[in-house]
Amino acid sequence: MFLVGIAFFVFLLMGIPISLVLGMTTIVYFLVSGNYVLLESTPQRLYSGMENFGLLAIPLFMLTGELMNNGGITNRLVVFARMLVGHVRGGLAYVTVIANMFLASILGSANAQAAMMSKVMVPEMEKEGYNREFSSALTLASSIVAPIIPPSMIFIIYGTLSGTSIGALFMAGIIPGLIYGIGFISLIAYIGYKQNFPRSNKASVKQIWSAFKDVLPALFIPLIITFGILTGVFTATESAAIASVVAFIVGLFFYKELKLKSLPAVLVNTVVGTATVTFLIAMANIFGWVIAFEQIPQLIANSMLSISENPFVFLILVNLFLLLVGMFLDGIAALIILVPVLMPLVTGFQIDPIHFGVIICINLTIGLLTPPVGTGLFIVSSIAEVKFERLVKSVMPMLFLGITVLLIITFWEQTTLLIPSWFGF
C-alpha cells in the first residue's frame, strides 16, 4: 500500500483530475498486489456503485439549476436582496451574502455558486468602491452555505452512502446555513465599520414591493421542495423532479426569459455536469472498495479508539483530519472515500448520523477555501482575475469564521437535530 499511496500523491501533484487519479491509483494497486481477481470484478463494481435511487436527484437538481439560471432567476434574486439592504453601510457586501443564501436553495453546489456569483457581484462591488480582493474573498466564502441549505448535492451523496434520510439531512442544514449567514453579516458589519464601506441609494417601499412581486415565483421552488419533504408528500428525489418542472414553467411562462431554443444547451450542460459527478462517484467507489479490502477502516477505528473513547475527542480528531483532507481533495471525492471508513466509528461512538453528516459536509466544503489546492480559490481567482496569494490572504478571516461556526455546530448538536426532531427523525 505504500507504493499505492505514493502513486496517488504523484498523480494528484501532476494535476490529473481527481476522478482519474482514483481510478489510476486503483489499477496501480491491482498491479502491485497481484489481485487480478478484483480487477476482473471492477466493471461490475463500477456499475453497482451507480445503482441507487437517491443519486437520481443529482441530475434533476442540476437541471433545475440550469433552468433557473436561463430563466432569469439569479438577477432577480440579486436585485431583490439589493433593494432590501443595499442602502446600509456595506450594503452590497450584505447583498452578496443574502443572494448566496437565496441561490443555495437552487444550485446546491458551492463551486457552481462561487463561479456564478464572482461573475455577477465582484465587478458590481468594485464599481461601488470595494476592494477587489475583499469582494472576491467574500463571494467565495459565503458560497459555502450552498451545500448546507437544502437542496444539497453533497447531502444527497452522504445520505446515499450512509443510509441516512436525505429529507432529514435537508432539514438539518437549515439552522447551520442561517448561522453561517448571520456570521458573515456580522463580519461584514465589523469590517465595514473599520474600513468605512460605501452605501447605495435607499430603495422606496414601492421599489421593494415591485422587486418582491417579481422574485416571488422564483421563491416558490425552494418552498415547494421544503414543504413537500417536510410533509412527506414526496421524497427528496421526487422533489427534484417537481422543482425542475416548476422551474421550467416559471422561466417559460412567468418571466418569459427561458426560450425553447435554449433547452438543448440546458440539457447538454445538465448531462455534462451529471456525467462529471457520476464518473467521480464510480471511480471513488472502486477506490473505496480497495480501502475496505485492505481493512484500512478497521485500522483507523482501532487507532482512534486507542486515543480516546470520548465522542467529543473523536469529533475534534475527525474535524482536524477532514480540514486537512479538504486542502487536497475535492469534497465529493473525499466524501465518497471517507464515509464508508468513518461510519462504523460514528456508530461505535453513538453519534447521530444526521449530525455527523452536517459536520462532514461543512468540513469538506470549507476545504474550498483552504490552500494549497482549494478548488474554490482557483475558480474565483481565475474568474475575478485576482492573484491567488492575495485572494488567500483576504479569505483568511472568513476561513476562521467558517471553522468557528463548524465547532459550534460540532459541539451543539441541536443546531442540526432540532428541526428533524420536530418531524419525527
Q: Is the model's pLDDT at 108 over the cut of 60?
A: no
284-298 pLDDT per residue, tens: 777 777 776 776 656
- Tell me which H or E stretch contains 73: helix 73-85
Claim to verify: residue 148 and residue 226 sit in the same structural domain:
yes
CA–CA gap between residue 270 and residue 65 (Å, rounded): 9
Q: Is the model's pLDDT at 155 over the cut of 70?
A: yes
Q: What is the pLDDT at residue 356? A: 92
The model's pTM is: 0.72
**Band of pLDDT at residue 136, cut at 50, 70 and 90:** confident
Claim to verify: residue 327 and residue 416 sit in the same structural domain:
yes
Which one has a higher pLDDT value, 148 or 58? 148
Q: What is the mean pLDDT of residues 276-283?
A: 74
Q: Is the model's pLDDT at 165 over the cut of 70?
A: yes
Q: What is the pLDDT at residue 55? A: 66
Residue-averaged pLDDT of the chain? 77
Q: What is the mean pLDDT of residues 394-416?
A: 88
Q: Is the model's pLDDT at 16 over the cut of 60?
A: yes
Q: Is the model's pLDDT at 53 over the cut of 80?
A: no
Q: Is the model's pLDDT at 42 over the cut of 60?
A: yes
Q: What is the mean pLDDT of residues 44-50?
A: 71
Claim to verify: residue 313 and residue 181 sit in the same structural domain:
yes
Q: What is the pLDDT at residue 330? A: 64
Q: What is the pLDDT at residue 106? A: 58
Q: What is the pLDDT at residue 140? A: 82
Q: What is the pLDDT at residue 230? A: 66
Q: Is the model's pLDDT at 107 over the cut of 60?
A: no
- Structural domain boundaries enclosing 330: 49-422
Claim to verify: residue 119 and residue 79 sit in the same structural domain:
yes
Claim to verify: residue 23 and residue 116 sit in the same structural domain:
no
Q: What is the mean pLDDT of residues 59-71?
A: 76
Q: What is the mean pLDDT of residues 318-334?
A: 74
187-216 pLDDT per residue, tens: 888 887 777 777 666 777 787 788 788 878
Q: Is the model's pLDDT at 149 over the cut of 80?
A: no
Claim to verify: residue 208 and residue 147 sit in the same structural domain:
yes
Q: What is the pLDDT at residue 104? A: 64
Q: Which of 30, 48, 66 is at the close of a domain? A: 48
Claim to verify: residue 75 and residue 11 sit in the same structural domain:
no
Residue linked to cell 448571520: 182
User: Apex CA 388: angle with CA 386 and CA 389, to 5°?
Assistant: 115
Claim to verify: residue 125 and residue 185 sit in the same structural domain:
yes
Confirm if 368 and 144 have CB atoms less than 8 A apart: yes
Claim to verify: residue 362 and residue 250 sit in the same structural domain:
yes
CA atoms 67, 170, 344, 323: torsion sign: positive
**Band of pLDDT at residue 105, cut at 50, 70 and 90:** low
Q: Is the model's pLDDT at 408 over the cut of 70?
A: yes
Q: What is the mean pLDDT of residues 105-116?
A: 63
Q: Is the model's pLDDT at 343 over the cut of 80?
A: yes
| Phi (first) and psi of residue 368, to 5 degrees | -65, -25
Which one has a higher pLDDT value, 168 or 333? 168
Which one has a higher pLDDT value, 94 or 51? 94
**Band of pLDDT at residue 336, cut at 50, 70 and 90:** confident
Confirm if 377 and 368 have CB atoms less than 8 A apart: yes
Claim to verify: residue 13 and residue 85 sit in the same structural domain:
no
393-403 pLDDT per residue, tens: 888 888 888 88
**Cα separations (Å) of 318 from 176, 305, 308, 325?**
19, 12, 13, 10
Q: Is the model's pLDDT at 384 over the cut of 80?
A: no
Q: Which of 354, 338, 330 is closest to 425 using CA atoms? A: 354
Q: What is the pLDDT at residue 355? A: 92
**Cα separations (Å) of 3 from 6, 24, 90, 337?**
5, 13, 52, 19
Q: What is the pLDDT at residue 372? A: 60
List Cβ neighbours of 282 (8 Å cut-off, separation of 6 or more): 46, 49, 50
Claim to verify: residue 135 and residue 16 sit in the same structural domain:
no
- Domains held by the chain: number: 2
Q: What is the pLDDT at residue 354? A: 92
CA atoms 128, 130, 132, 138: torsion sign: negative
Claim to verify: residue 106 and residue 170 sit in the same structural domain:
yes
